[in-house]
C-alpha cells in the first residue's frame, strides 16, 4: 500500500482496465480493454445487473515476439491470430491517451492486481514508444481495494492472477453475501462467487475481465470509489517491471 497522501482526492472518471500479455518474461501487450464510467454513474448495483450505457475500448496487438505457452492457454491468443494486427506502437499509445482525454478529469484507472502486473507493463510500454501518461491519470489496484472492503488478508498473491484472464458473467443469483473466512482468496472469480453466489464462466477476453471487475465494483458503489481514491497512486510511483 502506498504511504502518504493519495494521488487523487476526487476522480471524475473511473476506467476499469485489463491487459493480456505474452507472459512474464519481458511481457508485451497482446490485448487491452477499458470500460469507462463517469463518477455520477457509479451507483450500487447489488442485484448483479449492469448499466446499459457503458463506454468500452478493446484492442488486439501483434506482440512481435513469441507468446508463452501458458499465456496462450489462459488467454486463447496465439501469434498466428495476432499476426495481422498492428503492434503496440506510438500511434496505439497516442490513440489510447486521446480516447481518455475526452472524459472528465482526474481519471482513475482500476486494474485487478494492477500495481504488480498491469500498470508496470503499461508504463513500460508507453515509455518504449515515447508517449507520456499525463498527470491527471492515476491508478488504483482493485486487489487492495477489495481487501480493504472485505477487511483484508495478508500474504502475497499468486503471480498467475495477473495472467488469469477472461471471466465472463454467468447466470447469477442476486443478493449474495460475503463469506467470513479466516483467509480469503481475492482472485476476481472468488470475489464474484462470494458476492453473487456463483462463479463467472471462464472465457478468453480482456473485455470480459473488465466487465466482471465493473460488476464487482458497482456492487459496492460509493464505498468502492472512496477506497479507490484513498489508495490511488501515480504512474511515477509504479515500478518499471512486474513483480516476481
**Could you report the per-residue pLDDT of 187-207, keeping only the tens digit for each?**
998 998 899 888 886 666 899
Higher-confidence residue of 199 and 144: namely 144
pLDDT score, position 200? 81
Q: Which of 120-124, 159-163, 215-219 has the lowest mean pLDDT?
A: 159-163
**Could you report the per-residue pLDDT of 79-91, keeping only the tens digit for each?**
999 999 999 999 9
Give CA angle at 237 (232, 239), nearest 5°.
120
Q: What DSSP designation does 51 have?
A: -
pLDDT score, position 203? 61
Residue 214: CA count within 13 A, CB half-sphere = 30
CB 106 within 8 A of CB 137: yes
Over the range 107-122, which residues count as b (16 or more CB within 10 Å of their CB) and which as e?
bbbbbbbbbbbbbbbb
**Could you report the per-residue pLDDT of 158-192, keeping only the tens digit for each?**
444 444 433 333 444 344 444 444 578 899 989 98
pLDDT score, position 6? 67
User: Check: CATH 3.30.460.80 for 13-237?
Assistant: no
Q: Which of 40-49, 99-108, 212-221 has the lowest mean pLDDT?
A: 40-49
Residue 174: count of CB within 10 angstroms of its CB = 10
Rounded Cα distance between 74 and 177, Å, is: 29
Is residue 103 predicted with pLDDT exceeding 80? yes
Q: Model's pTM, two decimal places? A: 0.83
Q: What DSSP designation does 49 have?
A: -
pLDDT score, position 44? 59
What are the cell numbers at 147? 481487501
Over the range 19-49, which residues count as b (16 or more CB within 10 Å of their CB) and which as e?
bbbbbbeebbbbbbbbbbbeeeebeebeebe
**CB neighbour class for 69 (10 Å; exposed up to 12, middle 13-18, buried from 19):** exposed
Higher-confidence residue of 170 and 63: namely 63
**Could you report the per-residue pLDDT of 53-62, keeping only the tens digit for each?**
579 999 999 9
Higher-confidence residue of 165 and 128: namely 128
CB 49 within 8 A of CB 69: no
Q: Where are the alpha helices (DSSP H) in the chain?
A: 69-75, 79-82, 90-101, 118-128, 142-149, 160-163, 188-196, 206-220, 222-230
Amino acid at each position: 500500500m502506498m504511504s502518504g497522501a493519495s494521488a487523487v482526492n476526487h476522480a471524475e472518471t473511473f476506467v476499469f482496465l485489463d491487459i493480456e500479455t505474452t507472459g512474464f518474461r519481458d511481457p508485451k501487450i497482446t490485448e487491452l480493454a477499458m470500460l469507462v464510467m463517469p463518477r455520477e454513474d457509479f451507483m450500487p448495483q447489488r442485484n448483479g445487473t449492469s448499466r446499459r450505457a457503458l463506454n468500452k475500448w478493446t484492442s488486439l496487438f501483434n506482440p512481435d515476439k513469441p507468446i508463452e505457452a501458458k499465456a496462450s492457454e489462459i488467454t486463447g491468443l496465439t501469434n498466428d491470430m495476432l499476426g495481422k494486427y498492428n503492434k503496440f506502437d506510438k500511434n496505439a499509445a497516442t490513440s489510447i491517451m486521446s480516447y481518455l482525454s475526452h472524459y472528465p478529469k482526474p481519471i482513475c484507472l482500476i486494474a485487478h492486481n494492477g500495481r504488480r502486473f498491469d500498470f508496470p507493463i503499461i508504463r513500460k510500454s508507453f515509455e518504449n514508444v515515447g508517449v507520456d501518461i499525463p498527470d491527471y491519470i492515476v491508478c488504483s489496484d482493485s486487489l487492495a481495494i477489495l481487501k480493504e472492503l472485505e477487511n483484508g488478508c495478508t500474504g502475497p498473491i499468486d503471480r498467475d492472477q495477473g495472467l488469469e484472464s477472461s471471466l465472463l458473467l454467468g447466470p447469477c443469483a442476486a443478493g449474495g453475501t460475503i463469506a467470513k473466512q479466516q483467509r480469503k482468496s481475492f482472485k476476481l472469480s472468488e470475489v464474484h462467487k462470494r458476492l453473487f453466489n456463483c462463479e463467472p464462466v471462464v472465457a478468453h477476453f480482456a473485455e470480459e475481465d473488465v466487465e466482471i471487475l465493473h460488476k464487482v465494483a458497482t456492487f459496492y458503489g460509493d464505498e468502492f470509489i472512496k477506497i479507490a481514491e484513498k489508495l490511488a497512486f501515480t504512474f511515477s510511483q509504479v515500478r518499471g517491471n512486474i513483480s516476481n
